[in-house]
Amino acid sequence: MSTQKASRIGEEIWKTRIDKVNAELVTLTYGTIVAQLCQDYDSNYQEVNKQLDKMGYNIGMRLIEDFLAKSGVGRCANFRETADMIAKVGFKIFLNVAPTVTNWTSDNNQFSLIFDDNPLADFVELPDDGRAQDELWFSNILCGVLRGALEMVQMQIEAHFVSDVLRGDDTTEMRVSLVRYIEDEMPPEDD
Amino acid sequence: MAAPPRHSTMLSISNAGTSQSTGTDRTQVPQSSSPAQTSGLRVPSNRKTIYDRHLNRSRNAELSRASFAYLFGEMVTYAQRRVTGIQDLEKRKDTPSASVCSTYSSTAPPPPPPPLSPAPPPPRLPPNRPLRILSLLHLIHGPLWRLLFQRAADALEHSVSAETPNEYMITDNDPLVNTYISVPREMSMLNCAAFVAGIIEGVCDGCGFEAKVSAHNQPTEMWPSRTVFLVRFGESVMEREKVLERAGVK
Amino acid sequence: MLSYQSRAALDVLIPSTPCVLSPHSQLSKMSYYFTILSPTDTPIFNIAFGTSKGGGDGIARFRFPDTAQYMNQFIIHSSLDIVEEAQWTNGGMYLKHIDTYPPATAYISAFLTPSGARFLLLHQPPQLPSSGTSGSLGSSSLLGSSASTTRASSSSVAANPTSPQTEEAIRQFMNEIYESYVKTAMSPFYKQGMEIKSPVFRTRVTAAGKKWL
């Protein structure tokens, strides 16, 4: 399936099959969660990143069912197709954005998602404490969502942000790496 | 919270910016350029800061209702997890979250998250400050509800009891947060509406109307998740209301 | 930043020049002190600047150069009672010119946000050039920025601090800052009463001052 086709599918589903809610309600709710975590963890941003990732993982595991039901898409032929499906369909129907897929490694196991728009981070200015901009990945929940969702379809991946406009970077970029296809594992023969 | 002494705090802040310039130069130093007060936050070279974003850009923007449900669900679970076990609470007494925890514990899980409240929705609301209770409530019942849920609330009523003139009720027959959010069974549906109650309370407080807002599930045959938000204004608000009434302020 | 540094250096070189502008253009060059107070009167932002319109150099020159900071804050705070009274009788956000402090010829304009933050602007016309020294003319040429100040000043809104034009200009100024303030307050990490330290916000206020005042 081509990138263009994935984009069309995403657009189509977004327009016709998605119940909507005011975007600011989502944005402010997410901001509240992150701010609350920062407060509860006493600005230990590494821990906040971890917690966000965990929350995302929980969401991802549930969200995949929803995604498959709404999109009706089948199994992807390869990881490149998976990337397009994530960017152009998944992100489109849940966040109404379609990040660019780029920076593939030659083995086709790693790519970047570049976000021109990130509704989670609208209105956000990180705390001016000299650390948040170096340590906090505000949208880290998204990494967890990808990890959780893909795990449910037998893909173990690793995802992390490498830049964020909230940190003063010019782009917001997430790096996604395929660790392994879980189904490829042979069942354990013995101990 | 007691108001800080007006004058002294003012001086301490602004001195920070200009102390280095007193003494030598007699003319005014342009404090606008004084570096000491500014922050160390980096901004992207393409100026993607909150200040460059049009305020109304997302006013009519929409996102998936499911995404909201997922986030909300995680927030509820988190809030609940934070207060499981008395020891847990005890342990956190000395941390900054203690006050939050006590709020959590007193209302049982989950709390209306307070941080949502200070975010002022005003610019998308009519450009007036409500002075009287009724205009505030109309603001909540109409524009605020539309902002959040794309429609006005279903009813606005005043307590009929002479003993509770400070009580008002806003009714939503089919609140979004109850309809679309599935939370763990052990938590009543009511708790999700507490979130909305928190938003209402924040708006009231923010506008200078100290109030306590609670959510009550009052199902009817037709509307099983009908929710009444009970708004109880504080004594000071009622006093002021009387004064304004006499002064003819609308 | 550079221009500030060089100006400051010049100010040191010319220690006794309270009036560096030529007398006739000086008439309408106001000095402004703008402050934001939280609903509980904690100061969360303040800035001083001067007229930029009509060729002004945007630098504040208050009448009490040594104590201007303290004087301005004192004057602003002394008008808070009036603000509080107006707060519950006037449902608008811009309350216009609300107070005057005659000893310093200082005018106060106020703007209240729905969530109770107060924007207060003190504006002070320059001292009449009765004491104008010839030296001040010489120094004005040293300051490159004042080279253009001889342009006609009729466009300046500040000529009369209580005129409808001034009120309108200040209203625009306040509205513009209000928009930036809302953006600040919308950030999940901003808590009411926190000092606004964002350099972008400061830049915005400076720009609004240049544009409208």
Q: In the 8-state DSSP scheme, what is residue C125?
A: P
Percent of all residues in chain B with a pLDDT value above 70, rounded to a whole number: 58
Measured between CA atoms, how close is A128 to chain C, in angstroms?
Answer: 8
Task: Give the tokens for residue A126.
Answer: 């990180």
A96–B63 CB contact, under 8 Å: yes
Scan for tokens 């306040």, then name that residue. C174
Task: Kindly state the DSSP code that residue A114 receives in the 8-state scheme.
Answer: E
Q: Nearest CB to A22: which of B75, B113, B147?
A: B147
| pLDDT tens digits, one per residue of A124-182 | 999 989 999 999 999 999 999 999 999 999 999 999 999 999 999 999 999 999 999 98
Count of H helices and E strands in chain C?
7, 5
State the smallest CA–CA distance between residue C77 and chain A in angstroms. 28
pLDDT reading at B205 higher than 60: yes
Which chain B residues touch A22 with a CB distance below 8 Å? 61-63, 147-150
**Cβ–Cβ gap B41/C113 under 8 Å:** no
User: Quick check: C197 and A128 CB within 8 A?
Assistant: yes
Over residues C163-178, mean pLDDT: 90
Using alpha carbons, list the distances in angstroms from residue B242 to B136, B166, B232, B235, C211.
Answer: 15, 12, 16, 11, 43
Torsion sign across C-alpha atoms B230, B235, B241, B242: positive
Radius of gyration, alpha carbons of chain C: 17
The β-bridge partners of A178 are A157
Six-digit token string for B83: 């207060």
Q: Is B126 on the interface with C (CB under 8 A)?
A: no
Confidence of residue C100 (pLDDT cuts 50, 70, 90): confident
Give the Cα separation of A165 and C141 in Å (integer).
44
Backbone angles phi, psi at B63, to 5 degrees: -130, 170
A-chain residues near B100 (CB < 8 A):
36, 39-40
**What's the gap in Å between the CA of C81 and the closest CA on chain B?**
12
Q: Is ipTM > 0.90 here?
A: no
Hey, is the C-beta of A38 within 8 angstroms of any chain C C-beta? Answer: yes
Tell me if chain C has a CB within 8 Å of the CB of A32. Answer: yes
Mean pLDDT, rounded, of chain A: 91
| The pLDDT value given to residue B120 | 38
Question: What are the counts of helices (DSSP H) followed by strands (DSSP E) for chain A?
Answer: 7, 5
Size of the B and C interface in Cβ pairs below 8 Å: 181
Segment C98-122 mean pLDDT: 87
Contacts with B7 from chain C: Cβ below 8 Å: 73-74, 77
Q: Give the Cα separation of C111 and C95 in Å (integer).
A: 6
Q: Return the structure tokens found at C15.
A: 């220690």
Contacts of B75 (CB under 8 A, 6+ apart): A29, A32, A33, B110, B113
Cβ(C111)–Cβ(C178) below 8 Å = yes
Residues 6+ apart with CB under 8 A from B16: B36, B37
Q: Choose, out of C13, C115, C203, the residue to mutate when testing the contact with B (most B CBs < 10 Å).
A: C115
Q: What are A84's two structure tokens? A: 């397009």
Give me B168's structure tokens. 């008002």
HEC readout, chain B: CCCCCHHHHHHHHHHHHHHHHCCCCCCCCCHHHCHHHCCCCCCCCCCCCHHHCCCCCCCCCEEEHHHHHHHHHHHHHHHHHHCCCHHHHHHHHHCCCHHHHHHHHHHCCCCCCHHHCCCCCHHHCCCCCCCCHHHHHHHHHHHHHHHHHCCCCCEEEECCCCCCCCEEEEEECCCHHHHHCCCCCCCCCHHHHHHHHHHHHHHHHHCCCCEEEEEEECCCCCCCCCEEEEEEECHHHHHHHHHHHHHCCC
The CA distance from A26 to B74, in Å, is 13
- Rounded CA separation A75/B119 (Å): 43
d(CA A106, CA C134) in angstroms, rounded, equals 75
Q: In C, which residues are within 8 Å of A126 by CB distance?
A: 189
User: Is residue B41 very low, low, confident or very high in pLDDT (cuts 50, 70, 90)?
Assistant: confident
Report phi then psi at C56, rounded to 5.
-65, 155
In the structure encoding, which two tokens stand for residue C45, read together? 């932002």
What is each CA distance from A42 to A132, B23, C164, in whole angstroms?
A: 12, 41, 51
d(CA B144, CA B124): 9
Comparing A37-41, A107-111, B28-32, C66-70, the range with the smallest average pLDDT is B28-32
Show the tokens assigned to B246: 């006499």
How far apart are alpha carbons A101 and A89 in whole angstroms? 12
Nearest chain A residue to C187 by CA: give it: A124
Q: Say how far apart CA C37 and CA C47 lie, in whole Å.
A: 12
Chain B residues within 8 A of C120 when measuring between CB atoms:
none
Question: Coil, helix or strand for A160?
Answer: strand
Q: What share of chain A is helix, strand, coil (3-state, %, to 5)?
A: 55, 15, 30
d(Cα B120, Cα B207) in Å, to the nearest integer?
9
Residues 6+ apart with CB under 8 A from B158: B165, B167, B168, B169
Tens-digit pLDDT profile for residues B50-64: 888 777 666 678 888
Distance from CA of A37 to the nearest CA of C (A): 11
Name chain C's partners: 3 or more CB pairs within 8 A. Answer: A, B
CA–CA gap between residue B172 and residue B158 (Å, rounded): 15
pLDDT tens-digit map of B82-106? 654 333 433 433 333 322 222 222 2
Query: Which residue out of B71, B103, B199 would a mutagenesis test of the A interface target, given it has the greatest number of A Cβ atoms within 10 Å?
Result: B71
CB B243 within 8 A of CB C151: no
The partner residue sitting opposite B118, judged by closest CB among C70, C191, C202, is: C191
| CA atoms within a 13 Å half-sphere pointing along the CA-CB vector of A64 | 19
- Nearest-by-CA chain B residue for C193: B118
The pLDDT tens digits of the residues spanning C34-86 come to 999 998 888 999 998 888 777 777 787 777 766 777 788 888 888 888 888 88
Question: Could you tell me which residues come within 8 angstroms of residue B85 by beta carbon, excluding any fewer than 6 positions away?
Answer: none
Residue of A17, A24, A145, A164 to mutate, interface with B, max B Cβ within 10 Å = A24
Residue range B140-165, pLDDT digits in tens:
999 888 888 888 999 999 998 888 99
Q: State the pLDDT confidence band at C14, using cuts at 50, 70 and 90.
A: very low
Residue C106 per-residue DSSP state: E
CA distances A48 to A34, A53, A163, C203, Å, are 8, 8, 17, 31
pLDDT band of residue B39 (cuts 50, 70, 90) is low
Residues of C in contact with B13 (CB under 8 A): 43, 46, 195
- Measured between beta carbons, which residues in chain C are less than 8 angstroms from residue B14? 43, 46, 69, 73
Q: Closest Cα to residue B249, out of B164, B157, B169, B135? A: B135
Rounded to 5 degrees, what are φ and ψ at A111? -145, 170
Out of A20, A42, A130, closest to residue B96 by CB? A42
In percent, the amount of chain A with pLDDT more than 90 equals 75
Q: What percent of chain A has pLDDT over 70?
A: 95
